[in-house]
Amino acid sequence: MRIHRVGLVVPSSNVTVETELPALLGRHEHARFSFHSSRMRMRAVSAAELAAMNAQRERCVLELGDAGPDVLLYACLVALMAGGPGEHTRVESLVAEQLSTGGSRALVRSSAGALVEALQELRARRVALVMPYLTPLAEQVVAYLRMPVAEGGAGVEVADWRSLGVGNNAEVGCIPGAQIMRAARSLDLRDVDALVLSCCVQMPSLDLIAAAEGEFGLPVLSAATAGAFSVLRALGLAPILPGAGSLLGSRAPLHA
């Protein structure tokens, strides 16, 4: 069985995406994967550090190109959503261009774009979010998702959201699941089509997804499950992973 190589561009202080994404894709019935990371220095989740982190992108892409990935995921959602309208599309195009110049045919996705893609796949029009960020960055994520699709957003109504106010990225990776679920239970979920339980690849939530779907009775996803979905679709593989929520369930895909 062929092994698909997945390249990850991650913040230096991130430990969760390199745990949750392999755990998810390792459940695929018909494919195997290897994971290869390059890190951008970032410790505090602030506008200044995110901008400085993004400036390291080209070095990371150059390093990962040497590994010959089949798909590359830019794995920091807020770093792109804080960049304004259509930033995930712009960055994905720049990364693809850089890889192509170096002779790589790797497909390119981002955590920000993957969440937009996942919400569109679920046909979600009204959503609720749980995020770890300080309020100013959380508001930028909400604004990005509310932007019309034509302007590079998801075109969804954000009915309610909670931000846990954690600015240290290492601490984000240690947020207890019980705290995340308390935040989710405080949301107004009336007429909501989907709940994003972790709108951040560093805030752990994979073990909560299935139980949260059972408790709230609606599709529950995260930046990690959206990223897995996008990677699988990019590779032309069935986006079906057990125990990872409706997005990665055995239902037939909604779109070709």
Q: What's the Cα-to-Cα distance from 184 to each of 53, 145, 160, 218, rounded to whole Å?
A: 30, 18, 10, 12
Catalytic status, residue 200: yes
Whole-angstrom distance, CA of residue 77 vs CA of residue 74? 8
Question: What count of residues does the chain have?
Answer: 256
**Distance linking the first and last C-alpha atoms of the chain:** 25
Can you say whether residue 203 is alpha, beta or left, with left for phi > 0 and alpha for psi between -120 and 50 degrees?
A: beta
Using DSSP's 3-state secondary structure scheme, residue 236 falls into coil
Catalytic residue, chosen from 60, 174, 199, 200, is 200
DSSP-assigned letters across all residues of 160-220: EEEE----BHHHHTT--HHHHHHHHHTS--TT-SEEEEESSSSS--GGGHHHHHHHHSS-E
Catalytic status, residue 60: no
Catalytic residue, chosen from 60, 76, 174, 199, is 76
Can you say whether residue 217 is alpha, beta or left, with left for phi > 0 and alpha for psi between -120 and 50 degrees?
A: left
Q: What's the Cα-to-Cα distance from 59 to each of 7, 54, 62, 230, rounded to whole Å?
A: 13, 10, 5, 24
- What are residue 39's DSSP bridge partners? 10
Using DSSP's 3-state secondary structure scheme, residue 224 falls into helix
Candidates 253, 255, 227, 240; CA nearest to 88 is 227
Q: Kindly list the catalytic residues.
A: 76, 200
